[in-house]
Chain A
């Protein structure tokens, strides 16, 4: 996955635009912090989301973590393979999208480039 094509949020989500769809996932930093992921709660197809809404919930053995959408859109696809194999998020965080929103936004507010996100993660330590 070419990280240059992604935008990153302060909450460690990534967004990838493909036409009028925005794919959402969690970053490598997020999966490392969470540890072994054992459960994913996906959104309902057709759900209308506002920027900042909880799009999904990811649970590790020790933690429950909400995944937020940084843009407004309608859920048109969910990665249901994650229900049976949530560990994919640990093994391939950038290749394992969680949900795709149909959106009119071309950008996601308040997101960072790959370089900015890398800096952001370093500062956090």
Chain B
């Protein structure tokens, strides 16, 4: 079982620890609903050190990443963070990830914790001359501070003006709490906030200091449970649910991160075909109108006919309703919706996604 550098902190804070893909992670501390509400109205502190980090460097680095990724990174200047799916030849997804352009020939790629080994193997298999890669996951810790009070709290620890870091921008080599860090204005909650990448051995100190300083602004530690309800409300995709080996980025509504006009990349042909003839399925949203909580995997019916399944379903703490993101046949008319929950068909109605309007500082 793997532990992040902050494991002892989570236990000391009363974190309820669970096995998350081989990592001992806190699912909650004070309660998922409380942590969720705090992120929306004050700030929450997340240990996301389990994420994987891979450096990509060299004269061939840009060409290499362009081949692997559906999004176009060539125009991303140093200081830009780019979100991209990474596809198989058939258009299914290997993983979705963030690419930080550190300099002309140097990138930091951040991947999902559960996919780190597989992604690195994929990176090695498709390496080209002039590109050097290294799995540096163990060297990095990552702390996310998210919510309307996040900037004010983090600003106390750096002289670098955080207001100067725009959405999906980052600054390298910022001293945060005197610790050399990458600070990026990114996150997975639908709120304004930052992700701080730093050396693993420095993480406990920054964690402690942020919690202490942020307490008066309402900062609480937040676990994986709240992380999931927050991203669910904002309809941010979770690999394995909205994206997978069998769900393409076009089906997941991520067309704006797929650039078939750029040079060839893995999966380009398959995705072009989907663009031409239409993706076979699409994501949509629903709200339960009968009594029941839709959960991942539940069958979805329209007028009694199976049309798809729930990719993520839960009680929404901010909207106080039971909601679901569903993957359905592309041309489905979403009237007469129902969800089969433990053998019973419960009524639902279509609603737009995202359920919660994101409050990014753009």
List chain A positions with a Cβ less than 8 A from chain B: 35-36, 38-39, 41, 57, 59, 61-62, 64, 83
Contacts and interface: CB of A to CB of B under 8 A. Distances in A.
Greatest chain A CB density within 10 A among B16, B292, B293, B342 is at B293
Given A35-B31, A41-B291, 7 more contacts: A35-B16, A38-B315, A59-B315, A61-B225, A62-B32, A62-B225, A83-B291
Interface of A is mostly: strand
Contacts of A61: 32-33, 225, 229, 314-315, 317
Interface string B274-303: 000000000000000001110100000000
Interface string B6-50: 000000000010000000000110011110000000000000000
B322 A36 contact: no
The interface size bin for chain B is 10 to 19
B31 A39 contact: no
Contacts of B31: 35-36
A59 B28 CA distance: 16
Contact of A36 (B32, B293, B342): B32
Contacts, number: 37
Given A36-B32, A36-B33, A39-B322, A62 B293 contact: no
A62 B322 contact: no
A116 to B, nearest CB: 26
Contacts of B342: 57, 64
Contacts of A64: 293, 295, 342
Contacts of A38: 33, 293, 315
Nearest to B316: A38
Nearest to A42: B291
Nearest to B322: A39
Nearest to A38: B315
Contact of A62 (B27, B34, B317): B27
A37 to B, nearest CB: 10
Greatest chain A CB density within 10 A among B16, B315, B342 is at B315
Contacts of A83: 291
A63 to B, nearest CB: 10
B290 to A, nearest CB: 11
A66 to B, nearest CB: 10
A64 B322 CA distance: 14
Contacts of A57: 342
A59 B314 CA distance: 10
A32 to B, nearest CB: 9
A39 B295 contact: no
Contact of A39 (B32, B34, B315): B315
B293 A35 contact: no
A39 B31 CA distance: 16
B315 to A, nearest CB: 4
A61 B314 CA distance: 7
A79 to B, nearest CB: 15
Nearest to B226: A61
Nearest to A60: B32
Nearest to B32: A61
A103 B90 CA distance: 61
A38 B316 CA distance: 9
A61 B222 CA distance: 14
Contacts of A41: 291-292
Greatest chain B CB density within 10 A among A35, A64, A83 is at A35
B335 to A, nearest CB: 25
A64 B341 CA distance: 11
Contacts of B317: 61
A39 B295 CA distance: 13
26 contacts: A35-B16, A35-B27, A35-B32, A35-B225, A36-B31, A36-B32, A38-B33, A38-B315, A39-B292, A39-B315, A41-B291, A41-B292, A59-B293, A59-B315, A61-B32, A61-B33, A61-B225, A61-B314, A61-B315, A61-B317, A62-B27, A62-B32, A62-B225, A64-B293, A64-B295, A83-B291
Contacts of A36: 31-34
Interface string B312-324: 0011010000100
Nearest to A83: B291
A59 B34 CA distance: 17
Nearest to A32: B16
A35 B29 CA distance: 10
A36 B36 CA distance: 12
